[in-house]
């Protein structure tokens, strides 16, 4: 039986199939290294579960106030242990990544303090949190100022600029690990460590926070291990393993976490309240699966980079580069290609494969965005998804895939779609 014939059921022709299979043959060694990383991180997760004494009772949640919620409190121990923090806050009440970041910032900054981003513009949605774009409830409204030092032209940290920007008001430094919707490189954990070391040599008491979104389990260590005080992320990205239906986390120094807990619920109540309802089993099981899910997503990203680089498109990271997050940017140079790419990803989905994605205004983003996702969890970007703002250079940001075979199908579908519309030639 020729099993590859099943691709024709998806409309993928033999030329596209051959083109893709040839590329995959060259990637075998790289994929092996990714599997080795997944093995290491899987064992790290199991150790954290064991050392935190995760029990059957942890699969059930609480209701109402959520006092003495052993499931919630144990999961927070697991996260702290795994990410090497003194403590962690992991809650379904943290609605998304932006909320987790806003919470970490608002709870650890006070009027008169200054926030510094030494790695250029932060993620789009943080512009409103900070008040770079005027917004209700922003840090700016509370008298917290913001300073930014852009990366140098060679994309390295501008150490001179950073030194000049740090002043007596600088209280917290935010470092975004992943490029997000930008065409700069993502940072390795080691280079984040170097940056933090430099910043602390100038002002030791400054709080260094890392936006860890999309970075978890890509490397064998996380930013708290290289000097960060706080790491922040979303559970509908890497650490939720595709199963977490909601949630965010903050891990790091006890004092930072305590501040965040009092801000999330209320002064006086802090972490003692917050029922975990019925999501706990998925938060545990998702974290357990996350290392191998991230490995599948990474393989998909590398495959996409190799396919589109071979066709002459500018890809970040490039086809050979080491990976520091699961996002793959492909500069498609025209709105038609960006839309066709997203249509191809959507058509490969297990859920909502029959809908056509359209560019739309999104809360938090300053230009129309097209998003393709046929996900089990709405907006989950550890699941196969592609999105891009409709602006120059028409870069698509592709990420996720709960399994590599699904990511592979999505990429082949996007390629076939562009080919069928005459937008590329193999």
Residues that bind ligand PLP (CB under 6 A): 96-98, 101, 123, 125, 176, 178, 180, 211, 213-214, 234
DSSP strand E in 47-119: where?
A: 87-91, 114-117
Give me the least distance between CB of 258 and ligand PLP, in Å please: 23
Cα–Cα distance for residue pair 191/202, rounded to 1 Å: 17
Distances, alpha carbon 101 to alpha carbons 54, 177, 269, in Å: 27, 13, 21
Token pair, residue 62, equals 């609480």
Residue 159 corresponds to which tokens in the numbers above? 């150490």
Q: φ and ψ at 19, to 5 degrees?
A: -55, -45
- Smallest distance, ligand PLP to C-beta of residue 365, A: 10
Q: How, if at all, do strands 328-331 and 145-148 pair?
A: unpaired
For the record, the structure tokens of 222 come out as 């996380």
Comparing CB distances to ligand PLP, the nearer of 101 and 424 is: 101
Q: Could you give the CA distance from residue 236 to residue 248 in angstroms, rounded to a whole number?
A: 8
Which residues lie across from 90 on neighbouring strands?
Answer: 249
**Nearer of residues 49 and 187 to ligand PLP, judged by Cβ:** 187
SS3 115: strand
CB 399 within 8 A of CB 327: yes
CA pair distance 64, 61, nearest whole angstrom: 10
Nearest distance from C-beta of residue 114 to ligand PLP, angstroms: 21
Helix ranges, 253-396 (H): 254-264, 280-310, 335-347
Please, what is the minimum distance in Å from the beta carbon of residue 98 to ligand PLP? 3
| b/e 117-137 (16+ beta carbons within 10 angstroms → b) | bbbbbbbbbbbbbbbbeeeee
**Nearest residue to ligand PLP on Cβ basis:** 97
> Toward ligand PLP, which CB reaches closer, 192 or 409?
192
Closest to ligand PLP by CB, 178 vs 416, is 178
Minimum Å distance from CB 375 to ligand PLP? 13
CB of 399 to ligand PLP, least distance (A): 9
Q: How far is the CB of 126 from ligand PLP (least distance, A)?
A: 7
Nearer to ligand PLP, 237 or 408 (CB): 237
Considering beta carbons, is residue 16 or 381 the nearer one to ligand PLP? 381
Residue with smaller CB distance to ligand PLP, 84 or 324: 324
């Amino acid at each position: 039986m020729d099993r590859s014939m099943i691709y024709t059921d998806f409309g993928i022709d033999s030329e596209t199939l051959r083109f893709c299979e040839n590329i995959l043959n060259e990637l075998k060694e790289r994929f092996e290294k990714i599997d080795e990383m997944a093995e290491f991180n899987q064992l790290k997760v199991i150790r954290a579960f064991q050392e935190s004494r995760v029990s059957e009772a942890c699969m059930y949640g609480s209701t109402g106030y959520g006092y003495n919620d052993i499931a919630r409190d144990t999961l927070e121990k697991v996260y702290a242990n795994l990410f090497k923090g003194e403590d962690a806050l992991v809650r379904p009440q943290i609605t998304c990544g932006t909320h987790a970041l806003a919470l970490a910032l608002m709870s650890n900054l006070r009027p008169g303090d200054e926030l510094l981003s030494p790695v250029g513009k932060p993620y789009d949605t943080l512009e409103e949190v900070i008040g770079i774009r005027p917004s209700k409830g922003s840090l700016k409204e509370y008298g917290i100022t913001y300073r930014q030092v852009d990366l140098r032209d060679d994309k390295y940290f501008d150490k001179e600029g950073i030194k000049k920007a740090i002043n007596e008001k600088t209280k917290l430094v935010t470092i975004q690990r992943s490029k997000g919707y930008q065409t700069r490189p993502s940072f390795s954990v080691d280079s984040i460590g170097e940056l933090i070391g430099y910043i602390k040599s100038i002002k030791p008491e400054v709080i260094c926070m890392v936006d860890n979104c999309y970075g978890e389990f890509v490397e064998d260590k996380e930013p708290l291990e290289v000097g960060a005080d706080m790491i922040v992320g979303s559970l509908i990205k890497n650490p939720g393993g595709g199963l977490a239906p909601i949630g965010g986390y903050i891990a790091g120094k006890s004092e930072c976490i305590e501040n965040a807990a009092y801000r999330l619920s209320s002064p006086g109540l802090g972490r003692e309240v917050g029922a975990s309802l019925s999501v706990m089993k998925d938060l545990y099981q998702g974290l357990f699966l996350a290392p191998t899910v991230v490995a599948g997503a990474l393989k998909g990203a590398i495959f996409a980079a190799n396919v589109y680089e071979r066709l002459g498109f500018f890809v970040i990271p490039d086809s050979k580069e080491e990976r520091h997050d699961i996002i793959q940017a492909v500069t498609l140079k025209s709105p038609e290609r960006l839309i066709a790419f997203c249509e191809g990803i959507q058509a490969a989905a297990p859920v909502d494969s029959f809908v056509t994605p359209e560019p739309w205004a999104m809360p938090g983003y300053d230009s129309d965005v097209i998003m393709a996702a046929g996900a089990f969890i709405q907006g989950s970007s550890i699941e196969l998804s592609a999105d891009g703002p409709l602006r120059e250079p028409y870069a698509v940001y592709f990420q996720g895939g709960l399994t590599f075979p699904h990511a592979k199908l999505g990429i082949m579908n996007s390629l076939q779609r562009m080919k069928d519309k005459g937008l590329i030639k193999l």
